[in-house]
Structure 1
Amino acid sequence: MTSLVEFSAVSKTYGGIPALTDVSLTIEAGAVHAILGENGAGKSTLMKLLAGVITPNGGTIKVDGVERHFATPRDATALGIVCMFQELSLMPHLTVRDNLLLGDGGPMLRLIRGAAVKAVRASLDSVGGSHIGLSSLVSELPLADRQLVEIAKAIHRRPRLLILDEATAALTAERVETVFAVIRKLRDEGCAILFISHRMYEIDAVADRVSVFRNGRHVETFAAGTRNRDEMIGLMVGQPLTELFPPRVAGPAMSVAPLLSGRGLSWERGLDAVDFDVRPGEIIGLGGLDGQGQQYLMHAVFGVLKGVQGTLTLDGKPLGGVTPRRAKAPGVDIALVPEDRKTEGLILDMSIGENLSLAGLSRKPYGLTKAAGPADVAVARLTERLEIKLKSLDDPVKVLSGGNQQKVVLAKWLALSPRCLLLMDPTRGIDVRTKAQIYRLLQELAGEGLAIILQSTDYEELIHLCHRIYVFYRGRVVREMSGDEVTPDALIAAALNAHSNTAST
């Protein structure tokens, strides 16, 4: 293989604090090079240096054997370096077509360039986005479709080095495989792919080489398949992590009355006569291919959707006319952790403390200025329990890592002592240590009697955390699974509506 990019003793500091220290690394053409590390390990800094967003304080970066200095992202793009950051860069009020064509020329030129439009259509189709209309506004797309558009945007630029940061975090297994097929095709054509993911099975599936970073330093590079998952996790965290998934707490007996039930829940845009039950102390999962109705069910239960037919019951009594305000009100006590923490779960420019208080504003007549009360004490305790790493509650929440931001979203709802917790892909794009902390927390909460509904695009989470799983297909529950019948193969078969009981071997 040919060396495309070489880092030699590269360092980067922010205000005297090291983000990367003396990093030497080679990225080869025609290979998928995975970068592993916890949040804060230096992965994002490495990407930003390659993308021309920042410049190093020391060391050299060579491309094709020639030392390069990227003053702007345009300098990197001119050399064929294309980066897809974890935080989506799409313009929400533009169409999909215009987002994909940004940078291809002036607006009028783009509109009349039929060949260019065909090319972006082909790029979108290649990553599994054939169902996405080019004239659709990005703001109207679900998160998973926005992520597909982001990937297509990167591929459309015909990169020599494609950097993917959590590119598949919002995608289901079927769409991940489609993206992987594109990655392999690009690799075989000589493209170098720098692949960052916190999903270990994705690393196993697509990587040729793996580099581990910890505390801003390059720890080790090795051929994929020469280290097992436990060894890789140990390199990332600096010590063995004995259990990613903690032992599952015993679920309630089926004879226990449900806390929350739905019967015949229908919504014209994506739910078709859905029935479900969740009991105190039970974790139920919502699985299936992305966009099959799982997210709509969560929104229906929390009262976000209008025009939902069917009945919800709480403690055996009808829960009519539910709205978000009523859902979180005392006596109902339902909490929703949305799938996109940055746009739906947090107000990034507000302080950590203010964000922690947001869910309880309707219970505080004087808003954020009200004197500290029981909920504020609960927030302080949860900050400690969730091990949220922060300097001050007065700092803006945007300065926290993705994992700590997600913990803030969890804490703001747990401070209200909910009886039912709705979780939408709660570990998307966060590191393995933080995942383990959240998994342990969910088991503890279930053990304390909290009813939990978990919608996840990660089938390992559904398998290891849930007592029962409802699998969705075209807005309907096509299978309910529990116990030994829950295997990766069975989940995938049910998601495809294949009605297979195939067991994993």
Structure 2
Amino acid sequence: MTVPAAIAACSVSKSFGGVRALTKASFAADSGSVHALVGENGAGKSTLIKILGGRIAPDEGEVLADPALRIGIVFQELTLLPYMRVADNLLLGREPRSHLGLIDRAAMPGLAERSLAELGITHIDPRALAADISLAERQIVEIARVILASPGILLLDEPTSALVEREVAWLFARIRALRAAGTAIVFTSHRWAEIAAIADRITIFRNGSDVGSFDSIDETEAITLMTGRRLEALFPARPPAPDGAPALELAGARAAGTAQLDLALHPGEILGVGGLAGHGHRALFFGLFGAPGFIEGALRVAGKPRRIRTPRDAIRAGIALVPEDRKSEGLFLPLKVRDNLTLPILRRLSRLGAIDLGAERRIASDTIARLAIRTPSAAQPVGALSGGNQQKVLLGRWLLTKARILLLYDVTRGVDVATKHEIYELVVRLAREGYAILFYSSDAEELAHLCRRVLVMRRGAIVADLPAEQLSAEAIVSAAMREAADAA
């Protein structure tokens, strides 16, 4: 292979225990270009990024890089220190010093604020703890920290997974500026529109190997190469219109972060929730799950008033929540797949204080098969699975509780296109089986194709209720933006 101007992987292989992550994978990225790595979860992209960035070593093969170029890397898993300020995280290793050589902590917030402003970021408080800002804001700080170090090679692993459209537009403006300045950028994303918009060259991975590099390729052909099969349609047909009494109702209900809300969710319905990020969606979902609960108003489950003040109350009422950040809010990453699946039903599996291990193994195996969770065994640590399969584990856990009301909060975030298709099919199947599903997504296309009705939120209030005949991604975005314009 000809040594590129910036960075290349040459026949790189890597295994973790019995799992083969990469098998003789190769690609090359030039300076002044954006090279996208595309593939399903578990195809080896993140492992290759870590090898390129020097975080882990390959078992075979080599990485060739221009020694004059500094490498910056934004990992898929955020690395901010949660109980340090944004300024501390942003300037880590580059802190201003006093004349005595000590870190000038008083000067850090001002310097951080100016540094963020240079990148067009004015809405993040550098004095705030990283733990107290939103997931999207943490992602932006992570990206900004790396860009401010002026790398000649920039590795971006799923940098847009927590970002909404305007934040993606900000990132792409920075990427284009870096490309124009001669930076080599390696970029991964599961959103094909992003790949098409920003990539100069695309390398597709399947099962740990590169299966082709292209200057241009359409989405259908790319999916076929990624998966080894052709997906006839990304979105399944919507379930039929629901009938009967609501499974869940809110009347004049208000949580911290919302206005008074009224809604009705029926068995067999996928009710969408959309709108601009940060306008009460999370407060609605977490309020329904009692984390914390609603402050005022009425909540009824199957027609009966319920007081839901804690997640325990919600689980007892048959309500389950799948949050956006599965790694910090949903799963116990070091524990086995089996342990994560059966955690909420251990009482049901116990006899005289001892867990029936045989029953636990059978239930876990059945759930893995039902949801097509790709794992070597139920004993595999869940943290070793791909993002899409981790999400299936979290869904499977709540299905085992026999919850009939599912609160799905951005469940396809950071999930590849083929696994998204599997999750869409699962969600539609559950609706057909009578589950009542409240479905938030930052992707308006998902809402438009999966839901028969979408509630658009603005400033904590429901400002539009779009029925099936009016549903489109454009209509959802328009409703959110129109309300934003009216409020300005």
1:320 maps to 2:307: yes
Alpha-carbon distance change, 367 to 345 in structure 1, aligned in 2, over 3 angstroms: farther
How far off its partner does 1:391 sit?
A: 2.7
Alpha-carbon distance change, 126 to 214 in structure 1, aligned in 2, over 3 angstroms: farther
How far off its partner does 1:233 sit?
A: 0.4
Aligned to 2:32: 30
1:286 maps to 2:276: no
Q: What 5-or-longer segments of structure 2 have no aligned partner? A: none
Aligned to 2:437: 452
The structure 1 residue matched to 2:141, chosen from 140, 145, 149, is 149
Residue identity matched to 2:269: E
Aligned to 1:72: none
Equivalent-residue separation in structure 2 for 1:47 and 1:429 (angstroms): 16
Bigger shift: 357-366 or 280-289?
A: 357-366
Equivalent-residue separation in structure 2 for 1:7 and 1:126 (angstroms): 33
Q: Which runs of 4+ in 1 moved over 4 A?
A: 13-18, 105-111, 113-119, 125-129, 361-368, 372-379
Alpha-carbon distance change, 106 to 177 in structure 1, aligned in 2, over 3 angstroms: closer
Query: How do 1:471-486 residues align onto structure 2 when only pairs under 5 Å count?
Result: 471-486=456-471
Equivalent-residue separation in structure 1 for 2:11 and 2:378 (angstroms): 36
How far off its partner does 1:364 sit?
A: 6.0
**Would the aligned equivalents of 1:127 and 1:148 in 2 still touch at CA under 8 Å?**
no
RMSD, aligned CA: 2.6
1:426 maps to 2:426: no
Alpha-carbon distance change, 447 to 18 in structure 1, aligned in 2, over 3 angstroms: closer
Query: How do 1:9-408 residues align onto structure 2 when only pairs under 5 Å count?
Result: 9-14=11-16, 18-64=20-66, 79-105=69-95, 111-112=103-104, 118=110, 120-125=112-117, 129-223=121-215, 226-253=216-243, 256-268=244-256, 270-306=257-293, 308-329=295-316, 332-361=317-346, 369-371=354-356, 378-408=363-393
**Would the aligned equivalents of 1:375 and 1:415 in 2 still touch at CA under 8 Å?**
no
For residues 383-409 of structure 1, the C-alpha deviation after alignment (integer angstroms, 9 at most, x for no partner) is: 211011223323322222222211111
Equivalent-residue separation in structure 2 for 1:160 and 1:322 (angstroms): 51
> How many residues are paired up?
480
Equivalent-residue separation in structure 2 for 1:16 and 1:212 (angstroms): 24
Alpha-carbon distance change, 378 to 128 in structure 1, aligned in 2, over 3 angstroms: farther
Equivalent-residue separation in structure 2 for 1:405 and 1:111 (angstroms): 41
Equivalent-residue separation in structure 2 for 1:31 and 1:310 (angstroms): 55
Residue identity matched to 2:10: S
Aligned to 1:70: none
**Would the aligned equivalents of 1:234 and 1:240 in 2 still touch at CA under 8 Å?**
yes
Equivalent-residue separation in structure 1 for 2:90 and 2:484 (angstroms): 38
For residues 437-483 of structure 1, the C-alpha deviation after alignment (integer angstroms, 9 at most, x for no partner) is: 11111010000110001111122211111111111111111111122
**Would the aligned equivalents of 1:249 and 1:446 in 2 still touch at CA under 8 Å?**
yes
Bigger shift: 401-410 or 127-136?
A: 127-136
Q: What 5-or-longer segments of structure 1 have no aligned partner? A: 67-77, 501-505
How far off its partner does 1:372 sit?
A: 6.1
Equivalent-residue separation in structure 1 for 2:62 and 2:86 (angstroms): 37
How far off its partner does 1:62 sit?
A: 2.7
Alpha-carbon distance change, 123 to 414 in structure 1, aligned in 2, over 3 angstroms: farther
**Would the aligned equivalents of 2:74 and 2:146 in 1 still touch at CA under 8 Å?**
yes
How far off its partner does 1:314 sit?
A: 1.4
The structure 1 residue matched to 2:423, chosen from 419, 435, 438, is 438
**Would the aligned equivalents of 2:253 and 2:298 in 1 still touch at CA under 8 Å?**
yes
Alpha-carbon distance change, 289 to 129 in structure 1, aligned in 2, over 3 angstroms: farther
How far off its partner does 1:129 sit?
A: 4.6
Alpha-carbon distance change, 290 to 444 in structure 1, aligned in 2, over 3 angstroms: same
